[in-house]
A and B are shown apart, each in its own frame.
Chain A
Amino acid sequence: NAGVTQTPKFQVLKTGQSMTLQCAQDMNHNSMYWYRQDPGMGLRLIYYSASEGTTDKGEVPNGYNVSRLNKREFSLRLESAAPSQTSVYFCAGSRSDEETQYFGPGTRLLVL
């Protein structure tokens, strides 16, 4: 099993460019999450999907959109990147019968 995978690992964007961060899991997770990690701030929830076909805003959703394409995949889109979106982005998943979240390796994004 690959677990939770994320692509790309690194990305540099110019202000105003768009991109999609991909996340996939083969752990039969019902719920999936997108977080951003900034120095001294821990992880903050951007969006989550409690089940296939549903998405909801987290703590910091502005400037982002998400798509739960199917049970396995949950993508995060930046329509017009801003320097404030420079961060490390983590995808995570969880199952309703297990009190644990599993995290992907992260995508490091730099917006110039």
Chain B
Amino acid sequence: AQSVTQLDSQVPVFEEAPVELRCNYSSSVSVYLFWYVQYPNQGLQLLLKYLSGSTLVKGINGFEAEFNKSQTSFHLRKPSVHISDTAEYFCAVVPLSGGYQKVTFGTGTKLQVIP
């Protein structure tokens, strides 16, 4: 079994400021890690994913995340946010051998960018 914790339910940040959205997970097996973005009244869209290799992963819209195995974290960062980044962000994990039916989502972090 696995679990995903997104401690911050809401994160307000001024436009052009940096932001970090935190994600911690626990799992007894190796996992793939994902970040999804959900804009208002839309479905989830893949932002980035870590499968293997370099622990620093770059995604769309200038976001990046770093996998830290020792701290079981996969924090999402952006150096300068834009108004259009206002959305809800979900971290998710999938066990390597389990398939997406075993996916576990975090409870989400709402990013509010203040002009």
Interface residues of A (CB under 8 A from B): 4, 31, 33, 40-45, 48, 50, 56, 58, 90, 92, 94, 99-106
CB-CB nearest in chain A for B46: A100
Which one of B43, B46, B105 has the highest number of Cβ atoms from chain A below 10 Å of its Cβ?
A: B43
**B44 contacts A103, CB within 8 Å?**
yes
CB-CB nearest in chain A for B101: A48
Query: Beta-carbon contacts of B97-115 to A below 8 Å, as 1s and 0s?
Result: 0011101011110000000
Chain A residues near B4 (CB-CB < 8 A): 42
Known A-B contacts A40-B9, A42-B90, A104-B43; A31 and B108 likewise in contact (beta carbons under 8 Å)? no
Interface residues of B (CB under 8 A from A): 4, 9, 32, 36, 41-46, 49, 51, 90, 99-101, 103, 105-108
**A106 contacts B101, CB within 8 Å?**
no
A90 to B41, CA, bound (A): 11
**A90 contacts B43, CB within 8 Å?**
yes
Contact residue among A33, A45, A101 (Cβ-Cβ distance under 8 Å from B46): A101
Known A-B contacts A40-B107, A42-B90; A101 and B100 likewise in contact (beta carbons under 8 Å)? yes
Known A-B contacts A90-B44, A103-B43, A106-B42; A42 and B107 likewise in contact (beta carbons under 8 Å)? yes
